[in-house]
């Protein structure tokens, strides 16, 4: 009997944000989703500002330079945002 090991990799793969949701896909295939309303800067940002994101903190955070917003994967997994 073999046991397959799940490889956990919580680094950010992709990010999508619209008027309703923030969705973060991690490299290990997990998806974190939260209401955009939880993040006031993202909620007030326009589509171009939301689309301008970059990976930070060695892959464990997300930064939106135009609106100076930072979120951490750890914070998102806990149900908040947490600064990266």
In angstroms, the Cα distances linking 64 to 2, 24, 41, 54 are 43, 13, 10, 6
Residues 6+ apart with CB under 8 A from 78: none
Task: Check pLDDT > 80 for residue 59.
Answer: yes
pLDDT tens for each residue of 14-53: 999 999 999 999 999 999 999 999 999 999 999 999 999 9
Tell me if 3 is assigned to some domain. no
Are the beta carbons of 17 and 35 closer than 8 angstroms?
Answer: no
Residue-range definition of the domain harbouring residue 74: 12-78
Tell me if 60 is assigned to some domain. yes
Question: Would you place residue 1 in the very low, low, confident or very high pLDDT band (cuts 50, 70, 90)?
Answer: low
Are the beta carbons of 27 and 13 closer than 8 angstroms?
Answer: yes
Closest CA to 81 of 65, 64, 19: 64
Task: State the CATH number of the domain containing residue 50.
Answer: 3.30.2020.40
Task: Check pLDDT > 90 for residue 84.
Answer: no
Question: Would you place residue 83 in the very low, low, confident or very high pLDDT band (cuts 50, 70, 90)?
Answer: low
Q: How many domains does the chain have?
A: 1
Q: Considering the entire predicted model, what is its pTM?
A: 0.88
């Amino acid at each position: 009997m073999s046991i397959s090991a799940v490889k956990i990799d919580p680094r950010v793969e992709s990010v999508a944000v619209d008027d309703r949701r923030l969705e973060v896909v991690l490299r290990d295939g997990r998806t974190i989703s939260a209401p955009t309303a939880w993040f006031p800067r993202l909620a007030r940002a326009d589509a171009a500002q939301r689309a301008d994101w970059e990976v930070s903190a060695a892959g464990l955070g997300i930064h939106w330079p135009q609106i100076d917003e930072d979120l951490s994967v750890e914070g998102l997994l806990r149900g908040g945002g947490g600064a990266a």
